[in-house]
Amino acid sequence: MNRRGEAGFAEAMMAAVAVALTLTAFMGALAYNTLTDTPDEGPRALPLPDLRVEGGEVTGDVGLCIAEAMERGSGVTFRAHVPGHGITPFEFRDGSDEGGVLERHVGSFVIGCDDGRALVCSYEVTVWT
């Protein structure tokens, strides 16, 4: 600084660099905390069922998926279908579906077909209270 209190070019550049470094450190800390925080406990993911397409319909075993879901409520409804191929959907019910919906899981995964194709299967698991 000179006698009148004015900053020259070098001082102005040093101040700008200090601000840039501070903002960079802040953004780095924010990004690190965002990536390392564990999410809140929500509905646990269910294991995928063992399904396949045989003879034009979805068949298979949903035992692990249903057993995990049955621990949480009084009833479970499981539906799986392969959209757009005219394949008969799969539906399984266990327990009572009289109460309200406790949890609903939807998703999709790839299943094998008896003619060698791999098809996308959409599923929905509803857990009843």
Q: Do residue 100 and residue 68 come from a single domain?
A: yes
What pLDDT, on a 0 to 100 scale, did the predictor assign at position 22? Answer: 95
The pTM is what?
0.59
Tokens of 2: 């000179």
**42 within a domain of the structure (yes/no):** no
**Residue 43 is assigned to a structural domain of this protein:** no
- Beta-bridge partners for 36: none
Same domain for 65 and 33: no
Domain harbouring 75, CATH code: 3.30.1140
Nearest Cα to Cα of residue 90 among 117, 44, 54: 54
**Domain carrying residue 93:** 50-128
Residues 31 and 55 reside in one and the same domain: no
User: In whole angstroms, what separates CA 62 from the centre of its chain?
Assistant: 20
What phi and psi values does residue 12 have, to the nearest 5 degrees? -65, -40
Domain count, the chain: 2
pLDDT digits (tens, 9 = 90+) for 63-100: 777 777 777 788 888 899 998 888 999 998 888 877 78
Render pLDDT for 7-55 as a digit per residue (tens, 0 to 9). Answer: 788 888 999 999 999 999 988 887 776 655 454 444 455 667 788 999 9
As given in the structure block, the two tokens for residue 6 are 């004015």
- Contact between residue 75 and residue 105 where contact means Cβ atoms under 8 Å apart: no
